[in-house]
Chain A
Amino acid sequence: MKYFGLIWKNVWRKKIRTSLTLLSVFVAFLLFALLSALGYAFKSGEDVADAERLVIIDKVSLINPLPMAYKNRIAATEGVHSVAHASWFGGYYQDPRNQFAQFPTDPYEYFSMYPELEMPEEQLENWAKNRQGAVLGRELAEQFGIKVGDRIPIQATIWTKADGGRTWEFDIEGIFGTNDPRGSTAFFLFHYDYFEEARAFGKGTVGWYILRVTPDADPVQVANAIDLQFANSPNETETSTEAAFAQSFAKQFGNIALIVTMILGAVFFTLLLVSGNTMSQSVRERISELAVLKTVGFTDRAVLGIVLAEAVLIMLMGGLLGLGIGWLLVQGAAQQLGAFLPGIFLSGEAILTAVGIMIGAGIVAGIFPALKAMRLSIIDALARA
Chain B
Amino acid sequence: MKTIKQIIAVTALNLRNIPQRLASSVVAVVGVGAVVLVFAAVLSMAAGLERTMLSAGSDDTAIILRNGSTSELNSGLSNEQTLIVSNAPGVLKDGNEPIVSSELYVVVDVKKRSNQSDANVPFRGVQASAFDVRHNVTISDGRMFEEGKNEIIVGRSAQQEFMGLETGKTIRFGQNEWLVVGTFDANGSVSESELWTDVRVLQSTYRRGNSFQSIRVKLESPESIETLEQALAEDPRIDADVLTEREYYSSQSQGLVQFIKLIGYPLTLLMAIGAVFGALNSMYSSVSVRGKEIATLRALGFGPTAVLVSTVVESVILALAGGALGGLLAYLVFNGFQVSTLNGPSFSQVVFDFAVTPELLGQGMRAALLIGVVGGLFPAIRAARLPVATALREL
Contacts and interface: CB of A to CB of B under 8 A. Distances in A.
Q: Determine whether A and B are in direct contact in the complex, meaning some CB atoms lie less than 8 angstroms apart.
A: yes
Query: Of residues A58, A255, A280, which shows the largest number of chain B Cβ atoms within 10 Å of its Cβ?
Result: A255
Interface string B87-104: 000000000000000000
Interface stretch (A109-117, A133-141, A246-254): A246-254
Interface string A279-296: 011000000000000000
B267 interface: yes
B15 interface: no
B214 to A, nearest CB: 14
B274 A281 contact: no
Contacts of B341: 252-254, 256
A267 B39 CA distance: 12
A156 B68 contact: yes
A385 to B, nearest CB: 14
A13 interface: no
Contact of A30 (B73, B239, B270): B270
Given A252-B341, A259-B42, 11 more contacts: A20-B280, A23-B273, A90-B74, A160-B66, A166-B67, A252-B118, A270-B30, A270-B275, A273-B31, A274-B31, A274-B274
Nearest to A270: B34
A155 B341 CA distance: 27
B178 to A, nearest CB: 12
Nearest to B342: A252
B253 interface: no
Interface in A136-168: 155-158, 160, 164, 166
A20 to B, nearest CB: 4
A266 B175 contact: no
Contact of B107 (A59, A63, A269): A63
Interface stretch (B52-60, B109-117, B218-226, B356-364): B109-117
A329 B206 CA distance: 46
B24 interface: yes
Contact of A201 (B70, B74, B76, B175): B76
A132 interface: no
Contacts of B119: 251-252
A96 B119 CA distance: 26
B277 A23 contact: yes
B106 interface: yes
A328 to B, nearest CB: 15
Contacts of A277: 23-24, 27, 281
A61 interface: yes
A254 B339 contact: yes
B175 A23 contact: no
B27 A274 contact: yes
A232 B174 CA distance: 9
8 contacts: A20-B277, A96-B70, A160-B68, A255-B339, A270-B275, A271-B274, A274-B278, A277-B23
B175 A63 contact: no
Contacts of B61: none
Interface in A77-96: 90, 96
A252 B68 contact: no
Interface string A35-53: 1001000000000000000
A157 B38 CA distance: 37
Given A273-B31, A278-B281, A166 B68 contact: yes
B349 interface: yes
Interface in B230-252: 239
What band does the interface of chain B fall in when counting residues whose beta carbon is under 8 Å from A? 35 or more
B278 A164 contact: no
Nearest to A200: B76
Given A263-B38, A263-B42, A252 B173 contact: no
A27 B73 contact: no
Given A27-B274, A90-B74, A263 B31 contact: no
Contact of A280 (B23, B37, B38, B339): B23
A186 interface: no
B284 interface: yes
Interface string B307-343: 0000000000000000000000000000000011110
A263 B264 CA distance: 11
B263 A38 contact: yes
A63 B27 contact: no
A28 interface: yes
B120 A62 contact: yes
A77 B300 CA distance: 96
Given A27-B271, A90-B74, A248-B117, A274 B38 contact: no
Contact of B69 (A61, A157, A254, A256): A157
A17 interface: yes
Contacts of A155: 68
B120 A61 contact: yes
A21 interface: yes
B347 interface: yes
B270 A31 contact: yes
Nearest to A26: B274
Report, nearest first, the 8 A-B pairs whose CB atoms are least far apart.
A27-B274, A60-B174, A251-B117, A252-B342, A254-B341, A270-B34, A24-B277, A20-B277
A352 interface: no
A300 interface: no
A236 interface: yes
Contacts of B24: 277, 281
